[in-house]
Amino acid sequence: MTELAKAYFRWYRGSKDHEWARDRVEEIFDEDLDKAWAVTLELIDAAPSKECLYYIAAGQLEMLALNLI
Protein backbone atom coordinates (compact mmCIF):
# COMPACT_ATOMS: atom_id res chain seq x y z
CA MET A 1 0.00 0.00 0.00
CA THR A 2 1.39 3.38 -0.95
CA GLU A 3 1.67 6.34 1.38
CA LEU A 4 -1.16 8.02 -0.55
CA ALA A 5 -3.54 5.11 0.10
CA LYS A 6 -2.58 4.92 3.78
CA ALA A 7 -3.07 8.64 4.22
CA TYR A 8 -6.33 8.61 2.27
CA PHE A 9 -7.87 6.07 4.61
CA ARG A 10 -6.53 7.94 7.63
CA TRP A 11 -8.27 11.04 6.28
CA TYR A 12 -11.44 9.02 5.71
CA ARG A 13 -11.36 7.99 9.37
CA GLY A 14 -11.22 11.64 10.40
CA SER A 15 -7.57 12.67 10.50
CA LYS A 16 -7.29 16.35 9.58
CA ASP A 17 -3.53 15.84 9.18
CA HIS A 18 -4.17 13.67 6.14
CA GLU A 19 -6.51 15.96 4.19
CA TRP A 20 -3.67 16.36 1.69
CA ALA A 21 -4.33 12.78 0.53
CA ARG A 22 -7.96 13.55 -0.35
CA ASP A 23 -6.80 16.69 -2.15
CA ARG A 24 -4.16 14.75 -4.09
CA VAL A 25 -6.66 12.08 -5.18
CA GLU A 26 -9.00 14.82 -6.40
CA GLU A 27 -6.13 16.45 -8.32
CA ILE A 28 -5.29 13.14 -9.99
CA PHE A 29 -8.92 12.76 -11.08
CA ASP A 30 -8.85 16.25 -12.59
CA GLU A 31 -5.52 15.67 -14.37
CA ASP A 32 -5.38 12.14 -15.77
CA LEU A 33 -8.08 9.46 -16.01
CA ASP A 34 -5.51 6.69 -16.49
CA LYS A 35 -3.80 7.64 -13.23
CA ALA A 36 -7.21 8.02 -11.60
CA TRP A 37 -8.05 4.44 -12.59
CA ALA A 38 -4.75 3.21 -11.14
CA VAL A 39 -5.35 5.10 -7.88
CA THR A 40 -8.90 3.73 -7.68
CA LEU A 41 -7.65 0.15 -8.10
CA GLU A 42 -5.03 0.76 -5.42
CA LEU A 43 -7.63 2.16 -3.02
CA ILE A 44 -9.92 -0.80 -3.67
CA ASP A 45 -7.06 -3.22 -3.03
CA ALA A 46 -5.97 -1.37 0.12
CA ALA A 47 -9.41 -0.74 1.62
CA PRO A 48 -9.14 -1.80 5.27
CA SER A 49 -12.88 -2.43 5.67
CA LYS A 50 -16.08 -2.93 3.71
CA GLU A 51 -17.14 0.56 4.75
CA CYS A 52 -14.03 2.02 3.11
CA LEU A 53 -14.62 -0.10 0.02
CA TYR A 54 -18.20 1.15 -0.23
CA TYR A 55 -16.92 4.72 0.07
CA ILE A 56 -14.51 4.17 -2.84
CA ALA A 57 -17.28 2.57 -4.91
CA ALA A 58 -19.63 5.50 -4.28
CA GLY A 59 -16.90 8.08 -4.82
CA GLN A 60 -13.94 7.32 -7.05
CA LEU A 61 -15.56 4.56 -9.10
CA GLU A 62 -18.64 6.67 -9.70
CA MET A 63 -16.52 9.67 -10.76
CA LEU A 64 -14.62 7.49 -13.23
CA ALA A 65 -17.83 6.11 -14.70
CA LEU A 66 -19.26 9.60 -15.15
CA ASN A 67 -16.08 10.78 -16.87
CA LEU A 68 -16.15 7.87 -19.30
CA ILE A 69 -19.66 8.52 -20.62
For 36-59, b where at least 16 C-beta lie within 10 A, e where not — what string?
Answer: bbebbebbeebbeeeebbebbeeb
| Average confidence score pLDDT of the chain | 91
d(CA 26, CA 54): 18
Report the largest interatomic distance among the alpha carbons of the chain, rounded to a whole angstrom: 35
Q: Supply φ then ψ for residue 11, to 5 degrees.
A: -60, -45
pLDDT value, residue 22:
94
Residue spans of the domains in the chain: they are 3-68
Do residues 49 and 13 touch, judged by C-beta distance below 8 A?
Answer: no
pLDDT tens by residue, 13-28: 999 999 999 999 999 9
Confidence of residue 69 (pLDDT cuts 50, 70, 90): low
